[in-house]
Amino acid sequence: MDIYELTITDREKVALDDVFFSEENKAALLQVIKEHHYQEELKKYNLQVDNKILLHGYSGCGKTTTAKAIATALNKNIIIVDLSSLVSARIGETSKNIKAIFETAARQRAVLFLDEFDQIGKMRGDDDNKDVGEMRRLVNTIIQQIDYFSNSSLLICATNHYDILDTALLRRFQLRLKFEMPNKDELDAYYDKLFEPFPIHLQSIPRKYGISYAETKDYIHTTLKRKIIQDLESRVVVEN
């Protein structure tokens, strides 16, 4: 299988200020971005930039959007790989594909985003898997590629299941950031941001809480589309 069938080069531009996460996470990511901007100056002091980040926590709380925002801030392409699709592809070619993907990211000096990173941890400990030997080789390949990944590129991995990841993999990340479910104040700020482009009469939508940012966006956009279509249809009826 060609590696381009397993990857997505996403060109969406996302500003870091448009990503909603904790102040601690924002400060840590701003530090990484600054390190990469001043990489040559730091190199004079034999200081290496942090370029391996693990994002973990609840689904829909901004991990993928964060990876895109980092790529935008660094003016780099982002190569997105869903590991759950990769490890379920032709099993004998998985390690080769992983190596090719890392090499492509390094050559392009891109941000490499590995989603569903827990798939590696799950497979490594699955002794009932008939391909357990191949899976162990895959983990070894991932570890080798992470260890020798170019400082000119940046690796970001995401998982919803941090606790099952192998410690050998966890040790490879210089930065590990947890994404929590947003509280009421955080969701209110996000609702306000979502409503900004729309007229006041469309903003009277009941706000839901205890949900993720992704669920909030889906809820608001679905409700807004329904209200807009209802208004248009009502106008047509009146005019007729």
Alpha helices in 111-212 (DSSP H): 118-124, 132-147, 167-170, 184-195
pTM recorded for the entire structure: 0.86
% of the chain at pLDDT higher than 70: 85
Rounded CA gap, 214 and 202, in Å? 20
Q: Does residue 62 contact residue 217 with C-beta atoms inside 8 Å?
A: no
Q: What average pLDDT does this structure show over 171-190? A: 95
Q: What phi-psi label fits residue 181: left (phi over 0), alpha (psi between -120 and 50 degrees) or beta?
A: beta
The helix/strand/coil state of 13 is: coil
pLDDT over 90 (residue 106): yes
Q: Does residue 6 contact residue 112 with C-beta atoms inside 8 Å?
A: no
Q: For 191-223, what is each residue's pLDDT tens digit?
A: 999 999 999 999 999 999 999 999 999 999 999
Using 50, 70 and 90 to split pLDDT, how confident is the model at 5?
A: low
Q: Which pLDDT belongs to residue 178?
A: 95
Of the chain, the end-to-end C-alpha distance in Å amounts to 57
Rounded CA gap, 155 and 79, in Å? 10
pLDDT over 60 (residue 20): yes
CA angle 46, 36, 59 (to 5 degrees): 125
Q: Which pLDDT belongs to residue 7?
A: 63
What class does CATH assign to 3-179?
Answer: alpha beta
Q: For 23-78, what is each residue's pLDDT tens digit?
A: 899 999 999 999 999 999 999 999 999 999 999 999 989 999 999 999 999 999 99
Q: Please name which of 132, 144, 134, 148 lies closest in space to residue 168, comparing C-alpha atoms.
A: 144
CA distances from 211 to 61, 63, 103, 199, 218 (A): 9, 15, 38, 25, 11
Q: Which pLDDT belongs to residue 90?
A: 59
Query: What's the 3-state SS for 48-112?
Result: CCCCEEEEEECCCCCHHHHHHHHHHHCCCCEEEEEHHHHCCCCHHHHHHHHHHHHHHHHHHCCEE
Q: Does residue 97 contact residue 82 with C-beta atoms inside 8 Å?
A: no
% of the chain at pLDDT higher than 90: 62
Q: Which pLDDT belongs to residue 118?
A: 86
- Neighbour count for residue 125 (Cβ, 10 Å): 13
Rounded CA gap, 133 and 82, in Å? 21
Residue 225 DSSP label: H
